[in-house]
Structure 1
Amino acid sequence: MKTGMYSSPKTVTAMTVEKPTIQENEALVKVAYAGICGTDMMIYSGQHPRAEAPLIMGHEFCGVVEDIGQGHDFQKGDRVIIEPLLSCGKCAACKAGQAHVCANLKYIGIDQDGGFTEYATIPIDRLKYLPDSVADEAAALTEPLAVAIHTVRRSSLKVGDTVAILGAGPIGLLIGLIAKEAGASEILISDVSPYRLKIASDLGFTPVNVMNKSIVETVKSYTDQVGADVVFEVAGNQLTADQMIDCIKFQGEIVVVSVYKKAPTINLAAMHFREISLKTTRCYSPDDFTKAINLLEKKTFDVSLLISHILPLDKIEQGFQLMQNTQSSLKILFQP
């Protein structure tokens, strides 16, 4: 079968490998589409703390059941979405019903082979039915949509709130869509990429190019100098770590979504004097993932607007190179 293999930092190669066979409680899934995530870029750059080469990356994917054992609800030919979290079931978080913050959490596509391939073996309990009305391309964005749902649900966002989102990548834009559904009256989103900010504008958000305009001053101008009710930090650098505090109002809430490669300096004194709350968020719960599927089924919004490229798997190297240029890429899908 065709596959895209991560073999060393900055090296992903299209190759042919033997088609896998299923073990007990596994299904063989013929992959329809698989998307590149920021975590995949971290692996590609050699900066991920767990992922080891050789590895088939990809944890945002959907497909069709090709083979499965007897005694399961799924059948050959079923369209499915993969929920890629692998929790231990034994730690305190798992026992408390919070498996997404499992002390030993692993991922399909990070800790074991994932979706950048023609066929993938998947634990059957990680399969979710894909409704007939959801196109495969949209289904490939279920996982990042679940991240956005979890993020907004973790926040204290109220109807009529003003929201600032720092970072107009796929997750930032999806958070904007969910915040809008949750009742945000004004959504400002910042980035350095005119390409991504144009998409933000098309989605109904107020774009702020921080190369020529201050996100802090813009937020204040929209809020009578008070500040945003909720700030979502989705860029993961020192600049946005500073901006998130300067953008927020007194007793406002900051939600940090980014996984920082380098620990930032945080001005806790500035937060202290205005009683600012700080929350963090990690991936999503099973309920968030189900809600993501439901929103796609209802066609609440068109996530396909976030797809900038669809490439065949033999162009996997090109896909990763394109993904490094935020001026011309957003969500890149591979079609094996």
Structure 2
Amino acid sequence: MKATVYKGDKTFSVIEKEIEAPQAGEVRIKVAYCGVCGTDVHIYHGMMDQRVSIPQIIGHEMSGVIDAIGEGVTGFSVGEKVTVRPLDNRLQAESDKGFGHIAKKLKFIGIDSPGAMQQYWNVQAFTLHKLNEETDLKLAALVEPLSVACHDVRRGRLVKGETAVVLGG
């Protein structure tokens, strides 16, 4: 299979890589689409080289279809459309402020571990979100950035009729 690898110094390479069987607790996703996040651009510019293990497959804004299921995974089936919540909080003893996405030891999948810029991607099943069968996978790759925007609107406590300005990406 093909995978895109960040090699540092503003360099990516497309490589051939073996398709791996999913381990216990994992699923293998046939990636349909993978977006390029602002974080991925920062990686390209070398701004995260101290964090990214080079060489690294990056990418986390994605959609795809479950291709294989590892031992112990329940609630998912081969052929289901999914997207990934790219947060791995397994190393934290207790989340900060009661939120699983705020933690000192939080790992970001696609930055701290291999990401979705590959044809097949093995991820922990707990990160998956099922999509409706009729969901357009091209649009589904935008679920993660859309969820961030929704979270920001909720935190801003905007109500109908108010106006907000969004600056930047």
Identity across matched positions, percent: 40
SS in 2 for 1:110: coil
Letter in 1 for 2:60: H
| Counterpart position of 1:325 | none
| Counterpart position of 1:102 | 103
Q: Structure 1 residue 115: deviation in Å? A: 0.4
Q: Supply the distance in 2 between the matched residues of 1:146 and 1:125 (Cα, whole angstroms).
A: 17
Q: Structure 1 residue 21: deviation in Å? A: 2.1
- Listed as ranges, the matches of 1:193-204 within 5 Å are none
Q: Kindly indicate whether residue 22 of structure 2 is the aligned counterpart of residue 19 of structure 1.
A: no
Contact 1:91 1:103 in 2 (8 A): no
Q: Structure 1 residue 119: deviation in Å? A: 0.5
SS in 2 for 1:6: strand
Contact 2:24 2:71 in 1 (8 A): no
What TM-score comes out, normalization by structure 1 length? 0.48
| Counterpart position of 1:81 | 83
Letter in 2 for 1:27: V
> Cα–Cα, structure 1 residues 161 and 58, in superposed 2: closer, same or farther, change >3 Å?
same
| Counterpart position of 1:57 | 58
| Counterpart position of 2:36 | 36
- The runs of 4+ residues in structure 1 deviating greater than 3 Å are none
Q: Structure 1 residue 92: deviation in Å? A: 4.4
Letter in 1 for 2:85: E
Contact 2:63 2:140 in 1 (8 A): yes
What TM-score comes out, normalization by structure 2 length? 0.92
Partner deviation per Cα, 1:103-129 (whole Å, 9 max, x = no partner): 111111101101000001100111111
- Listed as ranges, the matches of 1:266-305 within 5 Å are none
Contact 1:58 1:114 in 2 (8 A): yes
| Counterpart position of 2:3 | 3
Q: Structure 1 residue 97: deviation in Å? A: 3.0
Q: Supply the distance in 1 between the matched residues of 2:58 and 2:71 (Cα, whole angstroms).
A: 29
Partner deviation per Cα, 1:117-162 (whole Å, 9 max, x = no partner): 0001100111111112210000000000000001010103222222
- Listed as ranges, the matches of 1:196-215 within 5 Å are none
| Counterpart position of 2:125 | 124
Contact 2:23 2:71 in 1 (8 A): no
Q: Structure 1 residue 89: deviation in Å? A: 3.8
Letter in 2 for 1:165: V
User: How many pairs does the alignment contain?
Assistant: 166
Q: Supply the distance in 1 between the matched residues of 2:63 and 2:107 (Cα, whole angstroms).
A: 19
Letter in 2 for 1:57: I
Partner deviation per Cα, 1:199-218 (whole Å, 9 max, x = no partner): xxxxxxxxxxxxxxxxxxxx
Instruction: Specify every segment of 5 or more residues in structure 2 that has no aligned partner in the other structure, as ranges.
Output: none
Contact 1:9 1:43 in 2 (8 A): no
Higher helix proportion, which one?
1
| Counterpart position of 2:112 | 111
Letter in 1 for 2:14: A
RMSD: 1.4
Contact 1:84 1:108 in 2 (8 A): yes
Partner deviation per Cα, 1:202-236 (whole Å, 9 max, x = no partner): xxxxxxxxxxxxxxxxxxxxxxxxxxxxxxxxxxx
- Listed as ranges, the matches of 1:91-170 within 5 Å are 91-93=94-96, 96-167=97-168, 169=169
Question: Does 1 or 2 have the higher relative contact order (CA < 8 Å, sep 6+)?
Answer: 2
Letter in 2 for 1:6: Y
> Cα–Cα, structure 1 residues 112 and 140, in superposed 2: closer, same or farther, change >3 Å?
same
Letter in 2 for 1:20: E
Q: Supply the distance in 2 between the matched residues of 1:17 and 1:70 (Cα, whole angstroms).
A: 23
Q: Supply the distance in 1 between the matched residues of 2:11 and 2:31 (Cα, whole angstroms).
A: 22
Structure 1 or 2, whichever has the larger Rg, is 1
Q: Supply the distance in 2 between the matched residues of 1:127 and 1:97 (Cα, whole angstroms).
A: 21
| Counterpart position of 2:93 | 90
Q: Structure 1 residue 70: deviation in Å? A: 4.7
Letter in 2 for 1:85: L
